[in-house]
Amino acid sequence: MRRENGLKEFFRTTYRTGSPIPYIISIQVILFILIHVADLLVEVKVVQTPIYDMMLSYLGLPVQFNNFISQPWTLLTFPFLYSGLFQIVFDSLWLYWMGNIFLSFLNKRQFLTLFISSFILGGLVYLGLGFIPWLTKGPQSYLYSNSIGLAALVASLTVLVPHMELRLLIFGRVKFKTLAFIILGITLVFYAFANRAGALVYLMSIGWGILFMRQLQEGNDLSRFFQRRIKKKLRVVHTIQKTPSYRSFKSDLPNQEVIDEILDKISQSGYESLSSREKEILFKVSREEQE
C-alpha cells in the first residue's frame, strides 16, 4: 500500500505540475529503451533483422534530402532519439535543470516555442546543408538527440540571467554564462569532428536562442503567435481607481510592466541582485503560469 501511495505521489509531483519537461524526458527514455531492447533481441539471435540499425536510420534525420523525402517524420522524431547512455543521462539532467530555470522566469508557451522551433528550424537548415558535399563527410550521416533544442535554451538563458551564480559540487559558485560557454563549446567541438553540418546547425541554434530572448526583452514575444485568444463576454463593471501595487496575477510575464523591470534588472545585474520581494513576485507568477 505504501508503494502504491509512493507511485501516486511520484506521478502527481512529476506529471501534474504543468511542466512539459517530464514528458519530453519520458519520450526520450522510452524510445532509448525500445531501440536497445531491439538490439538485445538481435544479439541473442531471437530475431535476425537488424532492428536497432533500422530504427536509428528511420528515426534519425538524414543529411541527404532524397532520403528525407521518403521519411519526412524524422524532422519530428530526431530530437528524441539517443543511442548512448551517457548522452541521454547528461542531456536529460541538463534539460531538467536548465528548463526549470527558464520556467522560473518565463512561461510554458515561451519554453515550448523556443524548444520546438529550434529543432524544426535546425532540421530544415541541416537538410539544406546536405547539398554541400564537404559538409556531409564525417562519421555521422544523420542528426539525432535534442542537443539543438538545449543549445537554444542555454543560449537564451545566458541573455536572461548571465550573472546568476550556480553552486557546483566541485567548483563551488560559478556564473551561469561561464558554465554555458564551457558546455556549449565542448558540444560544438564534438559536432565539428562527428558531423560538420550538425556543427553549423548547432551554432545557428545558439544564435536563435539569443535572438529569441533579445526580442523578448524588447517586448516582442515570438511565442505570442501560439497564444490562444479567448473571447470574453462584454459586461458592464464599475471601476475604482487604485494605486498600483504588487500582486499575483495570470498574464504573459514579459508584457507586464513590473515583470519587465525585474527581468531588466536580472539581465543587467543578475538574479542575486533582486530583493526578496522581487524574487517572491517572480516565484508566484511563474507558479500561476504553470497551473
Among candidates 254, 226, 215, which has minimal Cα distance to 107? 254
C-alpha to C-alpha distance for 215 and 209, rounded to whole angstroms: 10
Whether 16 shows a pLDDT value over 80: the answer reads: no
pLDDT of residue 254: 44
Confidence of residue 117 (pLDDT cuts 50, 70, 90): very high
Domains of the chain: 12-217 (1.20.1540.10), 242-290 (no CATH)
Q: What percent of the chain is modeled with pLDDT above 70?
A: 75
Amino acid in the structure at residue 197 = A
CB of 103 within 8 A of CB of 283?
A: no
On average, the pLDDT of the chain sits at: 81
The most confident of 87-91, 252-256, 272-276, by mean pLDDT: 87-91
Tens-digit pLDDT profile for residues 83-109: 889 999 999 999 999 999 999 888 899
C-alpha to C-alpha distance for 217 and 265, rounded to whole angstroms: 11
Whether 49 shows a pLDDT value over 50: the answer reads: yes
C-alpha to C-alpha distance for 242 and 248, rounded to whole angstroms: 16
Q: Kindly give the interhelix angle for 196-217 and 147-160, rounded to the nearest 10 degrees.
A: 30
Tens-digit pLDDT profile for residues 165-203: 877 777 778 888 898 999 999 999 999 998 999 999 999
Q: What percent of the chain is modeled with pLDDT above 90?
A: 42
pTM attached to this predicted model? 0.74
Whether 231 shows a pLDDT value over 60: the answer reads: no
Whether 268 shows a pLDDT value over 80: the answer reads: no
Confidence of residue 243 (pLDDT cuts 50, 70, 90): very low
C-alpha to C-alpha distance for 183 and 212, rounded to whole angstroms: 20
Question: Which cell numbers in the block locate residue 60?
Answer: 534519425
C-alpha to C-alpha distance for 172 and 269, rounded to whole angstroms: 20
